[in-house]
Amino acid sequence: MEPSGGEVEYEPVSVKQVLSEMKDTAELLIDLSFSAVLNGSDDVAAEVLDLEARMDVLQMRARMSLLMAARTTDDAEQLAPVLGVVGAAEKISDAAGDVAKVVLEDIGLPDAMRAALPEAVETLVRAEVADDSALAGQTLGILNVETETGVRIIAIRRGDDWITNPDRDTALEGGDTVLLRGPDEGIADVYRRATGDAYEPPAPPEPGIEDLERAVDSIVLMKNISELAVDLAYGSVLFDSKDVAEEVVELEAEVDALQSRFEAWTLRAAARVDDPVSLRGLVHLANATEVISDAAVEISEGVLRGLGTHPVVEQAVQESDEVIVRLTVAPGSEFDGVTLGDREVKTETGMRVIAVRRSRGGERDWVIQPGPETELRAGDVFIAKGTRSGAERLAELTGSEYSSE
């Protein structure tokens, strides 16, 4: 992969493959950039900028290939929404880079940002696999790290290449940089086994000003909603579902409303802190989060306007490293009448349920951000993300046939 600023020449390349890489990279960028902020990690922030440079090359190649493919007015009409998907992924990448720069350039963040960490996300840590590590040369399936410790290896950087969403057949090598997500206790164990050094978690800050804590809580919620909006946007494209696309629009509106509240709380807090300039980073985060939710709507634009989904985009979403599936709970299946927590869906299958659609009394209702207490019943439709093997296992449990349509 050429570095940012290097020459990128046209070469025959599968648009589907490039779009698939862009989708996986964009989603990883959202996760890493906010984790860098919440953990105050310069190392993770630096990885974000490296991935952003990779995305610049991917989007240029995608545009070149699409230009070569457009020969008639019909081609232009069909490919216009595909260009929208490419542009949206690029916007997400740029926004993630802006978030990372809040950390790298010390733009200013209050300690309350880290105070939100336990409620916001699990710990994410960057670790380099030592040549003499017991993990080197072993596949993730053999190591079984996630089952034993609750820690998931969400990405691996090997030299200039990235492996996003590694699976059980992925082998670790000495010199790999791995990104670990999970509980502190598990992180400490895996970090030590990978690097040979002890992991030292950051000390939790003292509670701060109430208005400031509300502002931080708003940003964390904005981040979660924006991330969900991107997931659902790709789902709307894959399933050519206007219903799902309209949910993306609703989520974007919710982010806008949260940003208004955030601005009010931040302005109030500015009058009560010693250095109001220290809040500048929060404003950057809010702006970047809004860009991400706007980009989600752009991904859904073709579906919203009735243009349908171009086959190349559908195939790219279907064949990305992290698949999106839509399943229906069959009557009498193991998921009929139980909660997501009862079945421990994520633990048992590695799949994350991102939305549930119910039909009750002739009315359809979406449950966005379902939790362990969300109950499933026969006929409910839900959208989940994860690996192909996890999707197949989940389909078995729900009594559905695995299909990413």
pLDDT tens for 145-197 read 877 887 888 889 888 788 877 877 889 999 999 988 877 788 889 999 999 99
- Give me the pLDDT at residue 3, please: 44
Bridge partners (DSSP) of residue 179 are 126, 155
Same fold, 15-110+208-316 and 117-195: no
- Long-range contacts at 233-236 (CB < 8 A, ≥ 24 apart): 233/88, 233/296, 233/297, 233/299, 233/300, 234/23, 234/299, 234/317, 234/324, 235/324, 235/326, 235/354, 235/355, 235/383, 236/299, 236/300, 236/303
Would you state the structure tokens that stand for residue 383, as one six-digit string? 């959208």
Between helix 280-304 and helix 15-39 the angle, nearest 10°, is 150
Secondary structure (H, E, C), the chain: CCCCCCCCCCCCCCHHHHHHHHHHHHHHHHHHHHHHHHHCCHHHHHHHHHHHHHHHHHHHHHHHHHHHHCCCHHHHHHHHHHHHHHHHHHHHHHHHHHHHHHHHCCCCCCCHHHHCHHHHCCEEEEEECCCCCCCCCCEHHHHCHHHHHCCEEEEEEECCEEEECCCCCCECCCCCEEEEEECHHHHHHHHHHHHCCCCCCCCCCCCCCHHHHHHHHHHHHHHHHHHHHHHHHHHHHHHCCHHHHHHHHHHHHHHHHHHHHHHHHHHHHHCCCCCHHHHHHHHHHHHHHHHHHHHHHHHHHHHHCCCCCCHHHHHHHHCCCCEEEEEECCCCCCCCCEEHHHHCHHHHHCCEEEEEEEEECCEEEEEECCCCCCEECCCCEEEEEECHHHHHHHHHHHCCCCCCC
Residues in the chain, how many? 405
Identify the CATH class of 117-195: alpha beta
Domain ranges of the chain: 15-110+208-316, 117-195, 322-398
Low-confidence ranges of the chain (pLDDT < 70): 1-14, 108-122, 202-213, 215-216, 308-310, 321, 347, 360-364, 399-405
* All residues at 6 or more sequence positions from 395 whose CB lies less than 8 Å from its CB, including other chains: 325, 327, 401, 402, 403
pLDDT tens for 50-95 read 889 889 888 888 888 887 777 777 777 777 778 888 889 899 999 9
Q: Which fold is adopted by the domain 322-398?
A: Alpha-Beta Plaits (3.30.70)
Decide yes or no: CATH 1.20.58.220 for domain 15-110+208-316. yes
